[in-house]
Chain A
Amino acid sequence: MKLHRIHALLIKYFYISSSIERMADIFFWPLVDVFVWGFLSYYLSNVIGKEIAFTFLLGVCFRPFELRGVQDLPVFILEDYWSRNLYNVFSSPLRISELLTTISIISFIRSLISFCFISFITIWIYDFNPIKMNTSMLLISVLILSVFGWSIGMMVSSLIIRYGQRIQFLVWSAFWVLQPFSCTFYPLKTLPPWAQKIAQYLPTTYVYEGFRSISPDISWEGIKYAILASFVCLAIGGYLFVRSFKYARKNALLARSD
């Protein structure tokens, strides 16, 4: 990996991130989320108590780490498809590892900006501070959500590279397909048994379950599994990405921008 190439891509994605569409990802949609879930939590706090009601807002606040991870890699690759720039990018000395590293960095920065923005809004409007929790739990949650998000992003990107733009709907739907099983807004036991089995495999479930755990005793067994599972998913995602890239090179798919 060469630093000057990572620097080059950081410049590129910084410029792309400053476009209105990409700004909306980190400010507008999270704001809409905060209003919807915030007022719902506010209303429910009178019925079920503030602590339980505001776990919804915790989900909303931390969701960008997973969402940006899932969407940013395929969206930034799609940006090159839409611009017909794929040819120039991959005929340059750029390596796949440099591309993945840079997008992960920029995606994390975007998630962090989004998180800070949402946190500011929730403190200001709802008097709810999402970072008022165990620091190690906070850092581990961010790690698991980000790493799992990147792994799903890599899997979706590998499908886009393999099948082209016609399956770009996956970029926007992958996160929402996983969301019901991630138990972002409700406890695991709410799900029917078959869905619980799926949810138990997802590392994100343990993070959101941890948020809801009112007692300070966090299930570290679950968290340990979540860390391991998210890194296993990352390895699978990376493998699939490299494989589809090789397939694309063999079949001249990168030369076409369709």
Chain B
Amino acid sequence: MKTLEVKNLKKSFKCKGKVIPAVDGISFEINPGEIFGLLGANGAGKSTTINILTGITTPDSGEVKILGKDIIKYSEYVKNKTNVATAYSSLSSNLTVYQNLLVYARLFGIHNAKSRIYECLYDFEIAEIQDRKIDKLSSGEKSRVNLAKAFLNNPVLLLLDECTVGLDPDIADKIRTIIKKHQSRNDTGILFTSHYMPEVEYLCDRIAFMANGKIICIDSPERLIEKYSSNLISVQLHDDIDKLETWLLKKNIPILKKENRLIQFRAQASGISVVKELFKANLPVEHFEIKKTTLEDIFIKISRSEK
């Protein structure tokens, strides 16, 4: 059974008499144990999608099922199996870390609440601040408490909306390890959003790019990179730069930059194979450099093309 199934989900808001679609007929699914990245520029519709999945916002139309159960009809069942951590919310500022976790443990009806709370406190390295009130914590500590709350009920579906914002690299790395560990241990489906692309590339099994409320593409990070790949190649020659120009023209590869003995161009094929061909063609290559396409390049490319 799929952890999450979203079919033709739509949500629009009225703003100054205009109807603005925030989520425009998106469909995707998350399998058990899969980390699914939802990427897109600000206002692409990621947070609205997550708000609908948590039940905070009602959709206009479409179907959302968690473990095969409709999220509106079986709201209570579904919410018990789900949890969320978002950078845009916090916990009760008047309560200590432990008190907050105790309240949520009881809300989710967790048996052995105390031992589960301590597991989470130690997992996220916040045991030493358990008696501090939330409003006395740094933003990084708050993020970790938020995450501890999200993992409390061992959710089947975990929604993590930019949850590593404000964390130092060391803690962010530890959090990523915990997410991976939890995913493999509990078969949890995770919906993950972040603007930090290396993190998405490291964590996510599949990625969906959103723009203007629509999903533009869904695939694994590797295949997306392959699909949208256009390596930037810089070649410096000993001499005879015209020979390379002619060679590129023949191959229909446009030149991006030409400077003394240096030529820069973009190739759809793998950078290495292009360079190999250059050597085969006996071009006097003195130095070459290949800049690989990253997820960030694809993100920028898609975001700009959809504007």
**Which chain A residues have a beta carbon within 8 Å of chain B's beta carbons?**
2, 4-5, 7-9, 11-12, 15-16, 19, 79-80, 82-88, 90-95, 246, 249-252, 254-255, 257
Contact = CB atoms under 8 A, between A and B. Distances in A.
A251 B19 CA distance: 12
B79 A257 contact: no
A255 B95 CA distance: 21
A85 B89 CA distance: 6
B94 A16 contact: yes
A interface majority secondary structure: helix
Contacts of A7: 106
18 contacts: A4-B107, A4-B109, A7-B106, A8-B103, A9-B107, A12-B99, A15-B92, A15-B103, A16-B95, A19-B94, A82-B93, A83-B135, A86-B89, A92-B108, A93-B80, A250-B58, A254-B56, A255-B51
Interface residues of B, number: 38
Nearest to A90: B56
A11 B90 CA distance: 18
A86 B80 CA distance: 17
Contacts of A82: 93
B107 A92 contact: yes
A87 B93 CA distance: 14
Given A11-B99, A255-B51, A257-B89, A83 B56 contact: no
Contacts of B91: 83, 85, 88
B51 A12 contact: no
A85 B90 contact: yes
Contact of A8 (B51, B89, B107, B149): B107
Contacts, number: 108
The 5 A-B residue pairs with the shortest CB-CB distance in the complex, in nearest-first order: A8-B106, A87-B89, A91-B54, A93-B79, A83-B93
Given A8-B104, A94-B107, A255 B56 contact: yes
B102 to A, nearest CB: 6
Interface in B74-95: 75-76, 79-80, 82-84, 86, 88-95
Interface centre among B47, B55, B135 (most CB of A within 10 A): B55
A5 B90 contact: no
B94 A79 contact: yes
Given A19-B94, A92-B79, A255 B109 contact: no
Nearest to A256: B88
B89 A5 contact: no
A87 B56 contact: yes
A118 B219 CA distance: 67
Contacts of A16: 92, 94-95
Contacts of B149: 88
Interface in B96-127: 99, 102-109
A249 B52 CA distance: 9
B230 interface: no
Given A83-B134, A254-B56, A5 B80 contact: no
Contact of A88 (B84, B99, B106): B84
A19 to B, nearest CB: 5
Contacts of B143: none
B13 A252 contact: yes
Given A16-B94, A85-B90, A93-B76, A252 B103 contact: no
Contacts of A80: 92
